[in-house]
Structure 1
């Protein structure tokens, strides 16, 4: 595909990209903020319909039946045989009120946009749609079908979207994930596995002054367990609560543990070690229940990812971009999608950084070249 034509078409989509970015960032849409998530889903569904895609809006709920919002699936048929899945998400990590406190702002000196979710993942989501529009503008339809999915619960482990993602991934010949590129421009070629482990300790209350021997101190057990768990590679005890009053032997405690590992064997070993330690009585009379939340295994990349990287490097060379890549410690839907066996590449949104913080930013100067790269990559692998 002609690189100059790619860039020109991407440049033509930039005003709409920026306007849409402002419209999405102005809505509070943290995970489980269902009203806001449905609002941004409806807006994105409208953009996708304007782009000539066939749009389906699918309600998403967690295992307990609680609504999480809507997923948007936009499809664009081509004349080829390959189905390309583009994956992004609608939710952020920010509480209600953040959008009003920090609406989209642009620093003209640095060409950076700021706002909640501007990078993670509104920029990537809209870049994916812009790439579809670029291909349509250039009559480049060598693919069989492009499927763009936007889910409402990625930031909480895609607890409701997993069946949908698995279904779409099983139908895909290649999967391109639209998390933004790293702040140095790297694409993402591998991700650590992640899980949250909730451990509830059950003791027995007693008066701390009169008859402490009748109690079973869950706080003491939690302290011992915290020290033991911190000795496991890749484990962090991030939350610890215990007891109710200082003059009562604590009858309960709760730990929430973060697990991260780059290799599947290390990931499984860490989870097994946590279960073993939690099941070992550290204080007489204290028992534990363990719940693993949204386990997300490591994504190692592999030969399929390497082939997608070579294609990206080829397209990038034509556009004057040097394509680099890296593994990262954060997990994303790429981990889940890779379980299908289809080749996966991530970090294909524009360049950004400061994710999950008050200074989250998107490099607006990277939007046009990265949209061109993504559109060219879709055409190349088709």
Structure 2
């Protein structure tokens, strides 16, 4: 991606879209290049290869680029974080962030390479989130070519492990986001073009149940059946679904016992809780712990471990940015609507720092994490203009 200093554009959304449309062939070529690099979360080399490519482009755009290594977490290593910083003469700092990793194993890019069909690009990670990564770079290019400098600092952060919950990069991204005036997350827009104005929070829970083993034929009365308690507990937790609006509890893994002729002394439940508000998430976790402390089977005890807690992205956090995006959309003749989703992104972690966040600002895409994942190429010019225009509106108030 080469940068031309000969083209000077006024920072108006319609003009930005016209320029973005002229860049679409280059965008498609760059998208093909990124999609054809395997960069599953566990492939540090692949993630860093995508990061190398992006770092080079950021440097060409005049950004000061930093590569931040990530720590090994629970025995797993990940690629590094790429951060580009570019200072201007304004008073507001804006963060664009996306992720370099995908959910696909090494070899997927070769087995299912990038292709285009019916106005769509298809391939592993094409919309989640390689289209979003490119949206950040091309929006920065549009702003550079327009001569727009009325931002104190434009920061682009690209992370390596979002698809596995950002265990290594989460604290790094939070530190980068600290003190920003606004943060724009470049997950793809919903299939109908909606931005993401709310995401549920999620907490993983593991419940360890301890009973007492006994011979199931000779003296079953001496046993304290952990599996029976697990069954009672599972059904009680299932009853929490819908107790608060949007609250879901799913016990996805159940294990107990080792032999059919032994009363099981141990059982384990592993699941997740999702809620639209932090208050509801806290209430659900407290309810689980309270129930676990009241066993249905005498002589059995349970212990609840909160494995990981990701706070929700609540509508109050996104409201003014969504209003600004809608205003830019009106200039473009594009209807901007918002949607809530149960899925989690790095926007949840950034919102937890207190920075206003808006999500779903990548191009329109769908069928993420599947063999039919797609990105709408026709949406790219408008979405790039919307993103660049939103940066201008946020920076200038």
Q: Same fold (TM over 0.5)?
A: yes
Out of 294, 308, 333, the residue aligned to residue 280 of structure 1 is 294
Out of 233, 250, 265, the residue aligned to residue 279 of structure 2 is 265
On the 8 A contact 2:59/2:65 being kept in 1, the answer is yes
Task: Give secondary structure in 2 for the equivalent of 1:60.
Answer: coil
Instruction: Check 1:293–1:114 CA distance in 2 against 1; reply closer, same or farther (3 A cut).
Output: farther
Cα distance in structure 1, aligned partners of 2:45 and 2:226: 39
Cα distance in structure 2, aligned partners of 1:198 and 1:29: 30
Equivalent runs, 1:148-159 vs 2, <5 Å: 148-159=156-167
Cα distance in structure 1, aligned partners of 2:257 and 2:69: 39
Q: Structure 1 residue 40: deviation in Å?
A: 2.4
Instruction: Check 1:217–1:36 CA distance in 2 against 1; reply closer, same or farther (3 A cut).
Output: farther
Cα distance in structure 2, aligned partners of 1:62 and 1:83: 30
Q: Does 1:49 align with 2:62?
A: no
Q: Structure 1 residue 71: deviation in Å?
A: 1.1
Q: Structure 1 residue 274: deviation in Å?
A: 1.5
Instruction: Check 1:64–1:376 CA distance in 2 against 1; reply closer, same or farther (3 A cut).
Output: same
Task: Give secondary structure in 1 for the equivalent of 2:315.
Answer: coil
- Structure-2 residue corresponding to 1:94: 104
Out of 262, 266, 280, the residue aligned to residue 252 of structure 1 is 266
Q: Does 1:26 align with 2:39?
A: no
Instruction: Check 1:127–1:278 CA distance in 2 against 1; reply closer, same or farther (3 A cut).
Output: same
Cα distance in structure 2, aligned partners of 1:97 and 1:249: 46
Q: Structure 1 residue 348: deviation in Å?
A: 0.4
Instruction: Check 1:341–1:275 CA distance in 2 against 1; reply closer, same or farther (3 A cut).
Output: same
Instruction: Check 1:272–1:136 CA distance in 2 against 1; reply closer, same or farther (3 A cut).
Output: same
Indicate the larger mover: 23-32 or 179-188: 23-32
Instruction: Check 1:378–1:227 CA distance in 2 against 1; reply closer, same or farther (3 A cut).
Output: same
Cα distance in structure 1, aligned partners of 2:129 and 2:269: 29
Indicate the larger mover: 341-350 or 198-207: 198-207
- Structure-2 residue corresponding to 1:183: 191
Q: Does 1:366 align with 2:366?
A: no
Deviation sequence 1:55-106 (CA, Å, 0-9, x none): 1111122554642221111112222121101111122233444333322221
Task: Give secondary structure in 1 for the equivalent of 2:42.
Answer: coil
Out of 18, 23, 26, the residue aligned to residue 8 of structure 1 is 18
Q: Structure 1 residue 175: deviation in Å?
A: 0.8
Equivalent runs, 1:1-382 vs 2, <5 Å: 1-61=11-71, 63-64=73-74, 66-107=76-117, 109=118, 111-233=119-241, 234-302=248-316, 305-382=318-395
* Structure 2 unpaired stretches of 5+: 1-10, 242-247
Task: Give secondary structure in 1 for the equivalent of 2:37.
Answer: coil
Indicate the larger mover: 248-257 or 315-324: 248-257
Cα distance in structure 2, aligned partners of 1:40 and 1:76: 21
TM-score with structure 1 setting the length: 0.91
On the 8 A contact 1:221/1:283 being kept in 2, the answer is yes
Task: Give secondary structure in 2 for the equivalent of 1:198.
Answer: strand
Indicate the larger mover: 143-152 or 154-163: 154-163
Indicate the larger mover: 235-244 or 360-369: 235-244
Instruction: Check 1:203–1:113 CA distance in 2 against 1; reply closer, same or farther (3 A cut).
Output: farther
